[in-house]
Chain A
Amino acid sequence: MSWRRRALDLGVIVALLTMPYWMAAVGGYTELATRVVIMGLAAMSLNFLLGYTGVLSFGHAAYFGLGGYGAAMAIKYWNWGTLPAIAAGALAATVAAALIGALIVRRRGVYFAMVTIAFGQVFFFLAFRWNAVTGGDDGLTGWRRQPIDFGFAQLDIVRNDHALYYFVLAVFAVCVAVMARLIASPLGRSLVAIRENERRARFLGLAIERRIWLSFVISCFFVSIAGALYALLNNFIDPRALRFDLSGNFVIMAVMGGMRSFWGPLLGAAIFVALQDYVSSRTENWMFFIGLVFVLVVRFFPRGLLGVLARRGAA
Chain B
Amino acid sequence: MSLLRVKEATKRFGNLLAIDDVSLSVEPGELRAIIGPNGAGKTTFFNLISGLFAPTAGAITFAERDVTALLPEQRVRLGMARTFQITEIFPELTVEDNLRVAVELAAGHGLSPWLGRAAARGINARLEELLATGNLTSKRNHRVGALSHGDQRAAEIMMALALKPRLLLLDEPTAGMGDQETYDVARLVKRLHRNAGLTILLIEHDMRLVFNLADRIMVLAEGRVLAEGTPQEIAANENVQRAYLGEAAK
Partner of B105, one of A181, A182, A185, A206: A206
Residues of A with C-beta under 8 A to B159? 200, 204
Partner of B73, one of A182, A196, A197, A206: A206
B94 to chain A, nearest CB (A): 8
Question: Does A14 belong to the interface (CB within 8 Å)?
Answer: no
Please judge, given known A-B contacts A200-B159, A315-B141, whether A193 and B90 are in contact too, CB under 8 Å: yes
A interface secondary structure, majority: helix
Please judge, given known A-B contacts A202-B73, A204-B101, whether A196 and B90 are in contact too, CB under 8 Å: yes
Q: List CB contacts (< 8 Å) of A182-198 with chain B.
A: 182, 185-187, 189-190, 192-193, 196-197
Q: List CB contacts (< 8 Å) of A168-226 with chain B.
A: 181-182, 185-187, 189-190, 192-193, 196-197, 199-208
Question: Does B109 belong to the interface (CB within 8 Å)?
Answer: yes
Question: Does A292 belong to the interface (CB within 8 Å)?
Answer: no
Assess whether A193 is in contact with B101, with CB atoms less than 8 Å apart: yes
Question: Does A26 belong to the interface (CB within 8 Å)?
Answer: no
Please judge, given known A-B contacts A205-B76, A207-B73, whether A186 and B109 are in contact too, CB under 8 Å: yes
Q: List CB contacts (< 8 Å) of B181-209 with chain A.
A: none
Residues of A with C-beta under 8 A to B105? 186, 190, 204-206
* Nearest B residue (CB) for A199: B88
Assess whether A204 is in contact with B76, with CB atoms less than 8 Å apart: yes
Assess whether A204 is in contact with B102, with CB atoms less than 8 Å apart: yes
Partner of B163, one of A181, A186, A192, A204: A204
Q: List CB contacts (< 8 Å) of A59-86 with chain B.
A: none
In the complex, A203→B163 CA distance in Å? Answer: 10
Question: Does A25 belong to the interface (CB within 8 Å)?
Answer: no
Assess whether B72 is in contact with A186, with CB atoms less than 8 Å apart: no
Residues of A with C-beta under 8 A to B141? 315
Residues of B with C-beta under 8 A to A197? 88-91
B72-100 toward A: CB 8 Å interface, digit per residue (1/0)?
11001100011010001111111001001
Assess whether A189 is in contact with B115, with CB atoms less than 8 Å apart: no
Residues of B with C-beta under 8 A to A192? 90, 93, 101
Assess whether B89 is in contact with A182, with CB atoms less than 8 Å apart: no
In the complex, A220→B51 CA distance in Å? Answer: 33
In the complex, A26→B14 CA distance in Å? Answer: 67
Assess whether A187 is in contact with B163, with CB atoms less than 8 Å apart: no
Question: Does B138 belong to the interface (CB within 8 Å)?
Answer: no
Assess whether B81 is in contact with A196, with CB atoms less than 8 Å apart: no
In the complex, A192→B72 CA distance in Å? Answer: 20
Please judge, given known A-B contacts A203-B81, A203-B82, whether A186 and B104 are in contact too, CB under 8 Å: yes
In the complex, A189→B101 CA distance in Å? Answer: 6
Question: Does B113 belong to the interface (CB within 8 Å)?
Answer: yes
Question: Does A314 belong to the interface (CB within 8 Å)?
Answer: yes
In the complex, A99→B57 CA distance in Å? Answer: 36
Assess whether A196 is in contact with B102, with CB atoms less than 8 Å apart: no
Residues of B with C-beta under 8 A to A185? 112-115
B102-122 toward A: CB 8 Å interface, digit per residue (1/0)?
101100011111110000000
Assess whether A200 is in contact with B89, with CB atoms less than 8 Å apart: yes
Residue of A193, A197, A207 with most partner-chain B CB within 10 A: A193
Residue of A185, A192, A196 with most partner-chain B CB within 10 A: A196
In the complex, A240→B63 CA distance in Å? Answer: 56
Assess whether A190 is in contact with B113, with CB atoms less than 8 Å apart: no
* Nearest A residue (CB) for B107: A186
Residues of A with C-beta under 8 A to B77? 205
Residue of A189, A192, A205 with most partner-chain B CB within 10 A: A205
In the complex, A197→B100 CA distance in Å? Answer: 15
Partner of A206, one of B82, B110, B114: B110
B114 to chain A, nearest CB (A): 6
Residues of B with C-beta under 8 A to A314? 92, 94, 143
Residues of A with C-beta under 8 A to B104? 186, 189-190
Assess whether B115 is in contact with A186, with CB atoms less than 8 Å apart: yes
Residues of B with C-beta under 8 A to A315? 94, 141, 143
Assess whether A203 is in contact with B92, with CB atoms less than 8 Å apart: no
Question: Does B174 belong to the interface (CB within 8 Å)?
Answer: no
Assess whether B72 is in contact with A187, with CB atoms less than 8 Å apart: no
In the complex, A190→B141 CA distance in Å? Answer: 19
A282 to chain B, nearest CB (A): 41
Residue of A189, A193, A201, A203 with most partner-chain B CB within 10 A: A203
- Enumerate 27 A-B pairs (CB-CB under 8 Å) in ascending A order: A181-B113, A185-B114, A186-B104, A186-B109, A186-B110, A187-B111, A187-B113, A190-B110, A193-B101, A196-B93, A197-B89, A197-B90, A199-B84, A200-B89, A200-B90, A201-B101, A203-B72, A203-B73, A203-B76, A203-B82, A204-B102, A205-B73, A205-B76, A205-B77, A206-B73, A314-B94, A314-B143
**Closest 6 pairs (CB-CB, A-B):** A196-B90, A205-B76, A200-B88, A186-B104, A186-B109, A186-B112
